Structures are given as C-alpha cells and as structure tokens.
C-alpha cells in the first residue's frame, strides 16, 4: 500500500508543473477528489489518505465536504489576487465547481478558514470555522492536523462524528519514512527520464546520415 501511495505522489510531482499552470488548480482537482493538498506542502501520503478516507466516510453518512488547502501564492494558479483572502476564494472556488459539485467547499489558508456551498458563502458554518485557531504552519503534519480539525468541527456541528484518531501535528516516524521513500523514488524517476532522453538523442545521432 505504501508503495502505491509513493508512486501516486511521484505522479503528482511530475504533474505538479502542469497543475500549477492552470487558472485554478484546486477547482480541477476537487472535481474528482475530496482534498486538494499541493505536493510541495510536505504532507505525507498517509495523512492525505486519512483525510480522504474521513471525508469519504462522512459523505456516506450524509455530510459532504471537499477541502482545498492553499499554502502559497503559487498554489493559486492564475487567481493569485485571492491568496490569503479565504472568505473571497471559498465562494469563487465553489462557483468553479458548482456545475458538477454543489456541496460544501472548505478553504484552508494561513490566515483563516472559509466555507461555501453551491457558489455562495455559508454564514452558519462559517461561524464554526471562525472559532478555530489558525494553522500553526502551512506545511507537513501541522497543516494536515489543522485541516482535519476543521473537518471534525464542521461535521460535529451537523451531528456527524469522525471516529478515527486525530492526526498529530508533530508527525512521526511514518511521516519521515514516507518522505525518504518519496525522495528516493523521485531520484530514481529523474534518473530514468534522463537516461531515456540520453538514449533517444544518441539513437537520433546514430540514425543521422554521415557527411
């Protein structure tokens, strides 16, 4: 399972430049997935999987929520004007999704949380996330823990409970192991790409007629 997670993350690393070039990466991502966490945010594959599983479980119980975490301006794509303006970005993102997804959308930024639904702000649930402490960091375990805290608080407000143990903001050995495997796998992937490029150029040179 861990190898599958690592391979998935490696694919994200390769695709990241393409995603960031989009107008709004989170809007494309959340059309098919529950949570958008940029690959360079340092969140382990295990924590991303846990957040996804919790959101899937809540949806089965009747509470639907998709989440976008935005650590840096770069993660906004072409809409950088809304960076660190979660109360404006949440309805914007919800509008982008509403033709295929009309449920709740939670935005996590370093200066706060915001929630919208069907392209509009949700004042009632916004009060719930306004009461939360700000994320202590927009990287790694602290970001995963802050995101999960908001999910749990919103679900509880509507009468739903997440039964799994909360994510630790301090991380642990599994997170370190994930990162080591990801870095090692990325190095192998880069080596394969470089080797393929070299042999393709060499083959082209051999096929070129001599003068």
- pLDDT tens per residue across span 78-106: 999 999 999 999 999 999 999 999 999 99
Alpha-carbon torsion (8, 178, 186, 38), positive or negative: positive
Confidence band of 208 (pLDDT split at 50, 70, 90): low
Give the number of C-alpha atoms closer than 13 A to the C-alpha of residue 22, restricted to the C-beta side: 12
CA distances, 160 to each of 32, 53, 151, 152, 153 (Å): 23, 15, 10, 8, 9
What is the reported pLDDT for 23? 73
**Mean pLDDT on 117-130:** 97
pTM listed for this prediction:
0.72
Least confidently predicted of 144-148, 154-158, 162-166: 162-166
What is the reported pLDDT for 171? 77
Confidence band of 69 (pLDDT split at 50, 70, 90): very high
Burial class (CB in 10 A: 0-12, 13-18, 19+), 125: buried
What is the reported pLDDT for 177? 45
H or E segment to which residue 33 belongs: none
Helices in 21-85 by DSSP H: which ranges?
25-29, 45-61
What is the reported pLDDT for 201? 54
Task: Quote the mean pLDDT of the chain.
Answer: 81
Q: Give yes or no for residue 26 having a pLDDT over 90.
A: yes
% of the chain with per-residue pLDDT over 70: 71
**Mean pLDDT on 41-51:** 97
8-state DSSP, 138: S
What is the reported pLDDT for 14? 40
Burial class (CB in 10 A: 0-12, 13-18, 19+), 194: exposed
For residues 86 and 67, the answer to whether their CB atoms sit within 8 Å is no
For residues 60 and 99, the answer to whether their CB atoms sit within 8 Å is no
Among 93, 100, 143, 94, which Cα is nearest to 119's?
94
Among 52, 126, 128, which Cα is nearest to 91's?
126
> How many other CB atoms are there within 10 angstroms of residue 163's CB atom?
6
pLDDT higher for 183 or 106?
106
**Mean pLDDT on 145-171:** 95
Lookup: tokens for 100: 């295929």
Distance from C-alpha of 18 to C-alpha of 197, rounded to nearest angstrom: 20
The CA angle 168-20-72, to the nearest 5 degrees, is: 45
What is the reported pLDDT for 99? 93
């Amino acid at each position: 399972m861990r190898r599958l997670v690592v391979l998935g993350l490696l694919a994200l690393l390769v695709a990241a430049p393409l995603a960031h070039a989009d107008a709004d990466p989170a809007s494309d991502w959340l059309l098919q997935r529950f949570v958008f966490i940029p690959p360079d945010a340092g969140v382990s594959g295990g924590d991303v999987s846990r957040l996804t599983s919790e959101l899937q479980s809540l949806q089965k119980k009747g509470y639907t929520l998709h989440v976008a975490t935005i650590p840096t301006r770069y993660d906004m794509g072409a809409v950088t004007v809304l960076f660190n303006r979660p109360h404006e970005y949440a309805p914007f993102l919800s509008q982008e999704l509403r033709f295929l997804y009309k449920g709740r959308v939670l935005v996590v930024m370093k200066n706060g949380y915001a929630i919208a639904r069907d392209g509009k702000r949700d004042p009632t649930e916004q009060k719930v996330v306004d009461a939360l402490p700000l994320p202590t960091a927009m990287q790694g375990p602290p970001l995963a823990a802050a995101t999960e805290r908001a999910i749990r608080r919103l679900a509880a407000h509507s009468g739903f409970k997440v039964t799994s143990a909360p994510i630790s903001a301090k991380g642990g050995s599994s997170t370190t192991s994930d990162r080591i495997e990801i870095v090692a796998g990325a190095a192998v992937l880069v080596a394969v790409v470089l080797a393929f490029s070299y042999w393709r150029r060499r083959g082209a040179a051999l096929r070129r007629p001599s003068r």
